[in-house]
Amino acid sequence: MARSKARALEALAEIRRYVECKLKLLVNEDKTRVAPLGKCEFLGFNVVGKRIRASEKSLKRFKLRIKELTSRSLGVSMEFRLSKLRSYCVGWFHYFKFGFLCKEARAWDGWIRRRLRLCYWKMWKLPRTRRRMLIKLGVEPSAVKLASRSRKGYWRLSMNPLVRYALSNAWLEEQGVPSLSELLIVFRHGDQAKV
């Protein structure tokens, strides 16, 4: 936070000297530099204009962790998967909630729900199981074969209209799927906003 690059370099030298000599700590060269504020990352945040935003690196880590938790080859029950996913999403949100936009939250919610539809579809491996579950969740028996017998991949079928109708957002919410947009609404407007 200096007026010129020369002054910033002087401040960096002073701080480095203080940290290394007085505090006897090592300065991490990878994380220490003089740069415009918009190009600096601090504790997972960037300053963009007048806003604080989660850095690209933090968002990539978030996406990678969600992919791990919703991996279709992860051999755990859906209850365990959803509890881990819920605790991770809520914790991540509460750390990065400042500067989080509504449209970003809705986009993340849609992607997470699609990942979970993929998990359910994989879990219902056999066509007869898929048929039974789709009928149980309200799909017309005459239309079920359009999805249950499809040879398309799990990711593609997670966007199938029948699968989306059966595994609706409301149904997924009942199962305990976290919603970043709801967390954001409660954070900004309080509990009364959900009513």
Instruction: Give the number of C-alpha atoms closer than 13 A to the C-alpha of residue 9, restricted to the C-beta side.
Output: 3
Please check whether residue 47 is in contact with residue 38, taking contact to mean a CB–CB distance below 8 angstroms: yes
> Which of the two residues, 106 and 48, has the higher pLDDT score?
106
**DSSP conformation class of 21:** I
Phi/psi for 51 (5° steps) reads -110, 150
Strand pairing class (45-48; 51-54): antiparallel
Please check whether residue 101 is in contact with residue 120, taking contact to mean a CB–CB distance below 8 angstroms: no
pLDDT in tens, 114-173: 999 999 999 998 989 999 999 999 999 988 888 888 888 888 988 999 999 999 999 999
Cα–Cα distance measured from residue 61 to residue 55, given in angstroms and rounded to the nearest whole number: 10
pLDDT in tens, 29-65: 877 878 777 777 888 888 877 888 888 999 999 999 9
pLDDT reported for residue 192: 62
pLDDT in tens, 172-190: 999 999 999 999 999 988 8
Using a pLDDT cut of 70, give the percent of the chain over it.
98
User: Which pair of tokens denotes residue 162?
Assistant: 């029948």
Q: What SS3 state is found at 13?
A: helix
Please state the pTM of the whole predicted model.
0.82
pLDDT reported for residue 89: 95
Please check whether residue 54 is in contact with residue 45, taking contact to mean a CB–CB distance below 8 angstroms: yes
The pLDDT of residue 103 is above 70 = yes
Task: Tell me the average pLDDT of the chain.
Answer: 88
